[in-house]
Structure formats: C-alpha cells, structure tokens
Structure 1
Amino acid sequence: MTTPSSTAKYFRISAWALLSLLAVIVGLYPSLYFILGEKFGLLRSKPPALLSNTLWRIGFYAHIIPGGIALLTGWPQFSRRLRERKVQWHRQLGKVYIITTLISGLAGFCIGFTATGGPIAQTGFICLAVVWSTTTLRAYTAIRQGNTAQHEKLMIYSYAACLAAVTLRLWLPLLVYELHYFVIAYRVVAWLCWVPNIVVAWLIVRRMPKA
C-alpha cells in the first residue's frame, strides 16, 4: 500500500532525477556551438555585425562555457551523501562552481546589454546575472565565515538562477509557438526563465530550519 510519505519520497526522487538529467544535457549544450558553429542555437538570432565583434564573442563564450560547467558541477552539491561522506570532493566541486559562476555571471551581465528583444529582454538577463552572481558570492562568504545553514540557503538561490539555462530552453519553444514571434517570446522568457525559479527557491528555503 502506498503511503503519503512514500509518494512524497518517490516524487522527490523523480524530480531530482529529472533535474539532474536536464542539468547534464543543458550543461553539455555549449559544446554544440563548436561543432555546428553560428548556424546553431541563439547565435542564429544575432545580427552579423554582432557576430563579427571579437569582444562580444569572447563574452558569449565566457558566458556559455563556464555556465555549462556550473550546471554540471552544481546539482551534485545538493546530495547529502556527497556532502557528508566526500567532504573534500564537495569542496572542490564547490570551488569550481563558484569560479565558473562568477565568470559566466560577469560575462552574462556584459553581453546582456546586447540581448535580442531590446530593453525588456536586456534588463531581464542583466538582473539574472546580478542575482546569480550576488547569491553565489554571498554563499561563498557565508561558508568562509562558518555559517553552513546560510550557505546552503544561498546556494539554493544560486543554483535556481543557474537553472535559468534549463528553463529558458523549456519555455522558449512553447512561447514561440504560442506568440508566433521570436522577439516577443524572448522578451517574456528573459524574465520567465528565472523569476519562477527564484520563487520556488524561496519556498524551499522558507521550509528549512532557521539558523
């Protein structure tokens, strides 16, 4: 007989497995840009003048490559078994996550000013970069000060922002299908890809014991 507790546990495991799978898939996604070039992904929506700008290209790849690594190294950090049994492994992965997040966040902030969709989309992506970088920095500061509880809460917010890379790719095709215009859909997804994530993170943190 299935009990409410076993159902909840099954749901958590299923959600965790799905989240991990999507994080791995999207984390490896940037490698396709090196295989397929400028005819792939979001580069197809960029004007030739921007694609020929060396500084922009540096910023773009400095955003997607470390961002992919952050996605790949972030989700295992929430495994209690890893944190308790493989402390050094957890710390090393954490360092990689923090470094790649800050690089990707800074690059994302810079190229956010050129995002497709004008000021609405640009503001959305710039705010995402600020939230992602700020929560990560605060999480790092908290653990350096020995405040593990605060560190865990801030890392939930940080990875929720990181998962915008996943939710963007889930929402964008649906929005384009419904709205019929890529630019309009991109303006919406610039906010939809991360604001609900932060709300979910807030709900999770709210249920955690107070430090």
Structure 2
Amino acid sequence: MLSVKKNIPNPLKILLIIGFGYFFWLMLKITFEYIPLKTDVSFLMIKQTEVGQRPEYLYFFYIHVYTSIFVLLSGFLAILRKDFGLKSFHKNAGKIYIFLILFLAAPSGIYMGIFANGGVYSKISFVILGGFWWYSTFKAYQLARHKNFKEHKQWMWRSFALTVSAITLRMWKVIIVYLFHPNPMDVYQIIAWMGWIPNIILIEYLITKKYI
C-alpha cells in the first residue's frame, strides 16, 4: 500500500534496510522490557500514579506497546512492495497494519495521550497525533476500497510518517538532552511535537514534489 514512483538506488535500499533494522531492534528491546508483564520498569516507573489509580491504564499501555512493534514491521514490509522486490508482502502486510492501528494501537495511544507527561501541551500533542494517525490510516483504507490507489498511497505515507514518530521522538530526545540538558518535563513538551510534525512536513513535501 506504500510505494515510491522513482526506483531507489541499490545502495540506498541497503542503507534503508539497515537503518530500519537498527531502530526496529531498539524498539524491540524496549518492548522486551515489559515481558513478562511488569509495572515498575522503564517508562512505567514514572507513571505510578496512573498505574495505582487507573487500573485500565495498564491494559491500554500494554496494548499500545505490544501492537506498535508489529505496526512498525508491517508498515515497513508494505513499503517494500515494489522497490525492494517484495510485492507479495504488500497486501497482507497492509491489512495487518491497518487493522492494528484502527482497532488497537491508535485508540490505546489516544487514551495514553490524555495522561502524557509534560502537562497540557504534551497531552494535546499526543491526542492529536493519535487522532490523526487513526484518521490517516482509515482514510487510506477507504481510498483503497474505492480503488483510488494514488491517493491511497499518499495517505498511507502520512500514516506511516506518524507511525515512525515512535522512533523519531526518541531520536529528538537524545539530541535535545545531549545539546541542551533541559528539565525532563520540558523535554516531553518539546518531543511531543517534534516527534511527528517534522515527519508530516517531510511527507507533504515529497507528495507535493510527486515523489510519492
């Protein structure tokens, strides 16, 4: 459901695969921290108020964490469609990607966004991110059903740009902390927006230039 109009040079293909593989492994390591189910590790250590006062929070959290890794993988496999010679993966990977986002990853992400660290600005950002993630994926699904594959691809790229915010927000966090050493809550307010807005701007630029 995702493809680019111009062929990607082989060296760039290799770099993209290696780059994604590296960041996917990092995300997988984060996921492994919560297997078996734990409530006092990593991110959950700073969410003990929600863990203690809102029993449903952990359900949404685990749903989001466990499904997001498969969303990343299925989305990337869908991108491999033509340029990487894996066209057979496209349709099935796309179905998995859409199902996981619409029914599990995005709704749980929106719920978690309501309780995000960093105050009201972070909460607004993560709720908008989750809502637009759901909408862009649903829009792509609708367009595919109506055989409008050109716009379908564009909306799927928008959706995947939001999907990889799981990676880019962590990249921005490392950069910002290394360069400026800000207060932890200030970091959350910054990366809440930086994690996905630059991604969307880049995708809109590529769409405008007809690269995708």
Common fold by TM > 0.5: yes
Amino acid at match of 1:95: K
2:38 is aligned with 1:56: no
Amino acid at match of 1:50: E
Greater share of helix residues, 1 or 2? 1
2:166 is aligned with 1:183: no
* Shift, 1:35, TM fit: 4.7
Contact 2:13 2:84 in 1 (8 A): no
- Consecutive unaligned residues in structure 1, runs of 5 or more: 1-6
Query: Structure 1 residues 81 and 55, CA, compared in 2 at 3 Å: closer, same or farther?
Result: same
**Equivalent residues, number:** 202
Q: Which residue of 2 aligns with 1:117?
A: 118
Amino acid at match of 2:137: T
Helix, strand or coil for the counterpart of 1:33? coil
* Shift, 1:23, TM fit: 3.3
Per-residue CA shift, 1:110-146, capped at 9, x if unaligned? 1211111110100110111011111100000010000
Cα distance in 2 for partners of 1:8, 1:137 equals 31
Q: Which residue of 2 aligns with 1:66?
A: 67
Cα distance in 2 for partners of 1:132, 1:42 equals 22
Contact 1:77 1:83 in 2 (8 A): no
> Which moves more between the two structures, 176-185 or 93-102?
176-185
Helix, strand or coil for the counterpart of 1:71? helix
* Shift, 1:11, TM fit: 4.3
* Higher relative contact order structure (alpha carbons within 8 Å, sequence separation ≥ 6): 2
Q: Which residue of 1 aligns with 2:199?
A: 197
Contact 1:27 1:67 in 2 (8 A): no
Helix, strand or coil for the counterpart of 1:29? helix
Contact 1:128 1:194 in 2 (8 A): yes
Contact 1:83 1:90 in 2 (8 A): no
Amino acid at match of 2:77: P
Q: Which residue of 2 aligns with 1:138?
A: 139
Contact 1:121 1:186 in 2 (8 A): yes
TM-score, length-scaled by structure 1: 0.85
Per-residue CA shift, 1:153-186, capped at 9, x if unaligned? 1111100000000011211233234233111101
Cα RMSD for the two superposed structures: 2.5
TM-score, length-scaled by structure 2: 0.84
Contact 2:80 2:90 in 1 (8 A): no
Identity of aligned residues (%): 25
Q: Which residue of 2 aligns with 1:155?
A: 156
